[in-house]
Structure 1
């Protein structure tokens, strides 16, 4: 079997999720090209050694630039915070490496466009990891829409809610600072919702948004503070929160549908509530990531005495995408499996030359919508996507 060497840059939450997928995807799927976990890159050498040993990376490196100079690296996996994406992606593209990149895509539209142009100029395979597209239930929703079973789409209603910063003593991690995150849940969570909406409904024409920051100052972070984790160590020094805590955006799609996008980290009890409803002339669809193997479907053509939302369990091999490679019917899969599906599709795109989505073009379209939302919140005006300035 042909192999290609992978380098991962970033070893925290996403580094673990990606490493698990690179390691195990060939064990469940027949792949024409097998990924080899060649080198892991991070800043702390001791932590990096432990990470590489746990996940099977052959070598370590603390300078991402040296990783890109290596002739034995074919693929670069970008799993670092958003503010680092642009420089690494552009350099990786110029070095001729295929790129597997985490979301949100970039801090600004100008960065997003530069990343896309560099990747296209290099002729590489470029992938933006909106992993929720690759839930079998979401793929079923796409199939039902493409088959016309939902009819003309009228409404998209999306909500992505979490609660991990409700406590005012949660520290000022990089997620809460504009220079490293760009925005708060508007960019982080809404990036997923915008991607799913574009995938299932279509491109967005204009938006109107409002954003707010509930807690203006937070303690500076102690040791180990990270996504979902306050870390350790007490400090009395405070810093300013420079991103939104919550965002609400309404949108008009190119096809005339109307949509709403709600994103918040201030929704107690909601841990990772990625939810959407789609309403059409023939029926409706409902998805909740916290029940990710299920899709709710309503069809108006059902007889009146039997109408109602039905729950489809998308775990039947041969009927629902990817499932045949996992477990028998009814044996559910989880969050980590979406990353395996992404790795499989990414390697197939390299092997066959066929396009993969979402890619860096989709990243540009995503940032256009998110940036339009920021501009709308700042001005109080509706913003057309075509008028968003880079």
Structure 2
């Protein structure tokens, strides 16, 4: 079988996510395996071109991993007919301008989220991309987690009966940076630099809820800055101006109610960094990054409330683990392969700029709800 090569411009690989998940664990892993296999058995090999603002960092990454090309000139790359796909993992503040340039250059686009700083900007990008006739995709990595893949199988198999509610807990304690190094970059805590957990995580929750349970029709949320003083990468104190925690109630089509807490100011007392409990008439499940446990209607115990006696039941032991029954690859890599197939052979890839815009919509609605103290209904966004 023949192998064709696609040039991929990767902008923002000096950042943590762009480097670790997209370059190292996705593009280079695909290159190492010999490319992406298509439906007819042929392969598509990917040839990355590293793009960014820091020439020294780009050169060091390229040398370390045997990448032939790197540049600080995005315009030069976009003029190159050998580049088929433009990927963006830059800061949100500078992403929109680069995506417009890539659309105008006729490149297919795959990008991190949020796609823009505003809903208006996200919708404009989607319309531009459609008008240009390019393929466009947004990273929806949470759907490729083993735990959520298992959860999707349960939904498809009718395990839950009628789904009633979803309850999600996400987050961990991010150190302030004074006496222990922070695990997240300081711009995450500066609203003027596009930071904030609401704009970050509500974009994720939108596609998780939409793809698994139904479209979000309304939201009530509270965004909070619990830790107002932090220290940056150079040890300098700064005021945290962005929210570090967001508490949301999401009303979904079909009557499902979802509650999701997102926080960088919480200490863990659960098995994984994120967990979703789904309750239905016929059964319930708790899914995390990797694991998924279930309790069917027939196996549901009968707890009795009695505050006068200690509880001797071990409730977590009353759930059954869902087996893997498969080998799960890196989720970012899996979606890269799906997008490449979408570009080359028009295979399905529903996670486009319109899906990204709906993520922006939910984040903006959540912040508005928090600011104004009211429930916000969401209009339908579709091409």
On whether the aligned pair clears a TM of 0.5, the verdict is yes
What TM-score results when the alignment is normalised by the length of structure 1? 0.83
Q: How far 1:41 sits from its partner (Å)?
A: 0.8
Equivalenced residue count is 353
Maintained 8 Å contact 2:283/2:295 = yes
Of structures 1 and 2, the larger Rg is shown by: 2
Q: Which residues of 2 match residues 86-235 of structure 1 at below 5 A?
A: 86-167=96-177, 173-181=186-194, 183-219=195-231, 221=232, 225=233, 233-235=234-236
State the Cα deviation string for residues 212-269 of structure 1 (Å, max 9, x = none): 11233444x3xxx3xxxxxxx444xx54322101110111111111111211111134
SS at match of 2:159: coil
Per the alignment, residue 30 of structure 1 pairs with 37
SS at match of 1:110: helix
Moved more, 360-369 or 130-139: 130-139
State the Cα deviation string for residues 168-226 of structure 1 (Å, max 9, x = none): 67688221222322x5111213322332111111101111111111233444x3xxx3x
Q: How far 1:310 sits from its partner (Å)?
A: 1.3
Per the alignment, residue 362 of structure 1 pairs with 355
The separation in 2 between residues aligned to 1:303 and 1:184, in whole angstroms, is 39
Q: Which residues of 2 match residues 1-390 of structure 1 at below 5 A?
A: 1-11=3-13, 12-16=15-19, 17-20=21-24, 21-25=26-30, 27=33, 30-31=37-38, 32-167=42-177, 173-181=186-194, 183-219=195-231, 221=232, 225=233, 233-235=234-236, 238-269=237-268, 273-289=273-289, 292=290, 294-301=291-298, 308-314=318-324, 316-317=325-326, 323=327, 337-386=330-379
The separation in 2 between residues aligned to 1:176 and 1:168, in whole angstroms, is 15
The separation in 2 between residues aligned to 1:251 and 1:80, in whole angstroms, is 29
Task: List gaps (5 residues or longer) in structure 2.
Answer: 303-316
Maintained 8 Å contact 2:206/2:358 = no
Per the alignment, residue 305 of structure 2 pairs with none
Maintained 8 Å contact 1:285/1:297 = yes
The separation in 2 between residues aligned to 1:74 and 1:339, in whole angstroms, is 19
CA RMSD across the alignment: 2.6
